Each structure stands twice: as C-alpha cells, then as structure tokens.
Amino acid sequence: MKKKALASAVSMALVCSMVLSACGGGGGTATTTAAGTTAAETTAAAETTAAGSSETEAQTEAEAAPVETGKGPAYDWIANNVPKLTDEKVSFTLAVQQETAQIDYNNMEFFKELENATNVHIDFECFPVSGYNEQKNLILATGDYPDGFMGYNCLSMSDLNQYGPLGVFIPVEDLIAQYCPNYQKVLEENPTLVGLSQAFDGHTYSWGTINDSPSRDWPDNLYINKTWLDNLGLEIPTTMDEYYEVLKAFKEQDANGNGDPNDEIPYTFFQYQHINGYGGFFGAYGEAEAFNAAGGTLNHFIVNDNDEVVYLPLTEEYKTAIRELRKFVTDGLWDRDGFVQTMDQYNGKLANPTPIVGSAYTWGPTSFAAECADQYVAITPLKATADSGPAKVHRRRNHISVSSTGLSITNKCENPELLAQWVDLLYDDVMSILVYQGLDRVTAIDEDGSVHYNEENEPDGTSFSTYVKNTNAFDGAPKNLSFENRNKMILETVTDKKLEVTMDIYAKQPQSVTLPSMNFTTDEDQFLNNEGKSCQTYVEQKQNEWLLNEGHDIDAEWDAYIDQLNKYDVQKMIDTMQQAYNRTIGK
C-alpha cells in the first residue's frame, strides 16, 4: 500500500473488508470507511456535531481530521492509515523465534499499535533460538500447534512440504489472491519468490519475506591496517603479488612499531565462512569461492550469466588459485590457526585493543576494537597481477534476502481470511520499515513513505542498531524490505561504513553469484545429504592438504582427485542443483 497513493490503497482495504464480511469471515467484521472508522463510529461522531449538521457532513469532517495519538509520528501514521479489520476483537496465536536479548514480542510497541488500529490481537508464543527446531518438531508431531508460525526462520520448505499435504498447514494462494493486494505486488516485483514458495504438491503454504540488503549481498570485505602500511612506508596493494610483499613486510618488520617483530599476524581468517573466510581471494584467478559453513550443501557452487550451475572445485581456475594461495600459507603469511580456530578466537584477534592483525576479510570496521578501528581501511579486491582483469567478488543470495517463509497458517486457525488481511498490512512499504526498525525513534514520515529515525545512543550507551534489534521484530516478521524501500529508512546521523564500502567498491566489481536457497525434493535432499555430503567433505579435505602443502602437490594429484569426485557422483550433484535452481527461477 504505497502512501503516495493512499486513497487507492484505502479503497482496496475497504473492498477487502466488504468481501470478508460477505464471506462471513471474522464473525464481527464491519464495513470500513476511508478514514479507518467503522460505520457505528461515524454515526457516533455525527451525533456530537452541532445541531442541524447532517450525518454526511459529520462523516466528511471525521475523514478529514487526522487521528493524533500524542505518541509520535509513527503511532499517528498507523492510527491514520491502517484500517480496522474487524468490529469485534479477534485473537490469534502465532509462534515466533525470539533472538538472544530480544524482548517478548507481546511487549513490542509495533504490535500493540497494530492491534489498536485493526482490532486484531496476537498472542505470540515466543521460543528461544536455542533448541527451537526440537521444540518446533515436537509441536508439529503432537498436533498442539498455534494458529500460525511467523518469521522466515520459524519454518522451512521441508516443513511445509512434509506437513502441508497432511493438512497441518492450509494453502494460502487463494487467500493471497483475494485479500492481499500488498503481497501480490511483492510477487509481481519478485517473480522468483513465486517458484521458491510453491510446495511440491503445487500449493503455496506461506507468505514470503523480502529483506534485500547490499551489506548482506556482499558480506566479505577485505580490510588492511593502513597505519601499519604507513609505518613501513608501503602503499595499499592492488594485486595478489603486491599483497604478498605487504604481508611479508608485516611479518618481518615490526609493523605495529612496538619493538617486537614477531607479534604481528599478517592475515587471519575463519575457514569455510562466507564473511570471514578466504574465498574472496579465489576471485583474483577466476570465480570467488562460495562458502556457507564447513560441509555446507551449497558450498563451492556459483551460477554463471547463462543460469548454469558451476561447481568451482572442478575448474582449472580453482586449481590455479590453490597453487597461488599456497605460498601465502607455507611462507607464514596466513595465520595457520585459521584452519582450526573458533569464531570466538578469530574475533578476539581482530578485537585486540592493540592491533595484532594486519589484514582480514570481515564484515566491516566494527569487527575491530574501537580503540583501533580507524586504522583499518577496506581495499579494492585484489587482481592476480598488474596485467590481469578486475577480480570477481562473492555475491551472496541467501535465505534472508529472499525467503519463501514469513507466515504460515495452520488448520487450527478459525478465521484465516482475517489473518491474511492482517499479515498483508506488513507488506506495505511504511509498515515494513516500522516492523523492522520500530516506532518510538521515528522523527518524521514523509509523503513518499520515507521514515526518519533518531539514531542517538540510548542513555546507557546502547547503540541505535542494537536497540532496534532487541526491541522490535527486526528479521523475525514478514516484510518487503526491497533495495528501494531500504533507501526510505533515513538514518541521518549514523554513517553505515559497511554500506559505503559495499556500494563504492564491491557492487562495482564483476560478480560470482551464489545459489539462492532452494526447495529440494525428498530424493534430492537424501542424495545431497549422503553422496553430496561425502563429495563436499572430500573437496574441503583436499583443499586443506593443498594449501598447507603437507606433502601434497595439487598438480600431481589433480587427476586422482577428479577420479574420486566422479566416484562420489559429482555430476549427479551438479545436475541436482541445476534442477532445483531451474525450478526456483521457473525455468
């Protein structure tokens, strides 16, 4: 519901409300006026006008007068723009995942104000992230489940494929067509979501979620300590050869200037990780490596410009990258602990108040200790040599950016039509921002739907980003946060350095695009978690051996390596991914 076309959007809400009343949904649904008031409320307003005023004049006056809540722009916006969906209050129960430090969903201001406007009450059943899957499986197995599950992380397509055809979840495609104009627009703008959300029986059992973020799309940025470069009279490297010489100087020449030439770590990493790993270096020699987690099903796959799935460990470019990167490890320029260290150990090295790390792939400058974060600068992805073309960068398409899940309705729900109307409100441009960032820090909402926030720290020093994540649904609610809509979240005093680096450097590089989250059949899933898992484990074992050079030579072992991958039926794994990808994009 674009607020630039408010009259049209409210008219649609009126049509939906009238249709619901005619279908008998909700029991107490009342026809809604353009001002969001019921007919009974309009009549009451008319009786309080001056003697002789007509009911029509009173209704016109009521429509023209904004509802002021006195709580701030966002509260007023909801009061004025969100329609009452039912005359008689109706309640639903929704299961949600509650993140660590996140407040109870029942205490979130957004949902309280949404209830005030719509007359729909939600009882949230909050489950902690730890142990959630076990709890979810128990709920589904026993039949003691709520009216619905909310959040991209509450259900998987495997859940919907298993329990949808059994009748636990109800198909929602007809509800979407009849009651959800906002979400229909989302589907039109994101056609991939249509195929991604469809179960194997042909039904759709969930509303999806769009949460596009350039920072998430390019998660791994290469940083280097500029102060160390200055101390040694070195320039920022632009090629892998120059980078080698810089790291060698960091290792040998007391780069931090404390008199000890042996306490510097030139480069550190957390292996097989899409943010903190070393996959980006492969982009200098061909395609950037795509890691998710050790043994991950989608690891090492990219999609080329022809929508063909490519398995990088079979390519000559991959072999070249391993050969070239090995010298960094064997010459002591990479932190060998990176092959075995935990994430906490990795983070601890970056967060040392006295810098001990010269360079690392990481999320952004906030990864480093506040005392020294300004010493680190992001650098352009390194080319192989001065004569090489620009390096490719890893562009991630994942389950957070476009998710097939957002809200699913169970067969326990007695009024799915009303719940469908309720969830559709969350796909309005402004509402998507408000459910993500909250209400109480909003300073203004413009006519074009831009939402301005006060980003000052809390009195206790808590940052704005931490505050909004802990006090609002954030990632845990369905929404449409497209790139365009994210640009309408106006943060005027906080500079997002991660976003600046992403747009100024990484978005301009040639791309190695990963596979999106995909919907696998039972047979495909079984194959990928057996033969496919064995294949992935073997690839990563050999990658370790070749990089560490513990008596292994990639050129001498390459043919035997390919033979072993064929024994694991690597081509079937590639074909399986291609089939799933084709279904996802509707090809």
Q: What is the pLDDT along the chain (587 residues), one digit of tens a residue?
A: 333 333 333 333 333 333 333 333 333 333 333 333 333 333 333 333 333 434 444 444 444 456 677 789 999 999 999 999 999 999 999 999 999 899 999 999 999 999 999 999 999 999 999 889 999 999 999 999 999 999 998 999 889 999 999 999 999 999 999 999 999 999 999 888 888 899 999 999 999 999 988 888 898 999 999 999 999 999 999 999 999 999 999 999 999 999 998 999 999 999 988 899 999 999 999 999 987 666 678 899 999 999 999 999 999 999 999 999 999 999 999 999 999 999 999 999 999 999 999 999 999 988 999 899 999 999 999 999 999 999 999 998 766 688 899 999 999 999 999 999 999 999 999 999 999 999 999 999 999 999 999 999 899 988 898 899 999 999 999 999 998 999 899 987 767 788 889 989 999 999 999 988 788 888 998 999 899 999 999 999 999 999 998 789 999 999 999 999 999 999 999 999 999 999 888 77
State the amino acid at position 381 in one-letter form.
Answer: P
In order of 286, 406, 516, the CA distances from 510 in angstroms are 10, 32, 18
pTM: 0.72
Phi/psi at 477 (5° precision): -130, 150
Q: List domains and CATH numbers for the chain.
A: 3-214+400-486 (3.40.190.10), 219-395 (3.40.190.10)
Query: Looking at this protein, which amino acid is placed at residue 91?
Result: S
List the end-to-end C-alpha distance of the chain, in Å, as a whole number: 30
pLDDT at residue 520, rounded to an integer: 86
- pLDDT score for 55: 41
Phi-psi label, residue 127: left if phi above 0, alpha if psi -120 to 50, beta otherwise: beta
Describe the crossing of helices 55-64 and 39-47 by its angle, rounded to 10 degrees: 110
Within a 10 A sphere around the Cβ of 207, how many other Cβ atoms?
Answer: 30
* HSE-up (13 A, CA, CB side) for residue 581: 22
pLDDT at 6: 31
3-state SS, residue 72? coil
Q: C-alpha 166: how far from its chain's center?
A: 30
Dist. CA 337–CA 349, nearest whole Å: 11
Closest by CA position to 440, among listed 460, 480, 470, 406: 470
pLDDT score for 34: 30
Distance, CA of 380 to CA of 285 (rounded, Å): 15
Distance CA 234, CA 228 (A): 8
The CA distances from residue 111 to 325, 435, 440, in Å, are 52, 8, 13
Q: How far apart are CA 43 and CA 48, in angstroms?
A: 9
How far apart, in Å, are the Cα atoms of 114 and each of 76, 109, 150, 426?
11, 8, 16, 10
**Contact yes or no for 445/122 (Cβ under 8 A):** no
| Amino acid of residue 316 | E
Distance (Å, whole) CA 60 – CA 42: 9
Given the DSSP bridges, would you call strands 451-453 and 442-445 parallel, antiparallel or unpaired? antiparallel
**Tokens coding 338:** 């990176």
The whole-number pLDDT of residue 516 equals 83
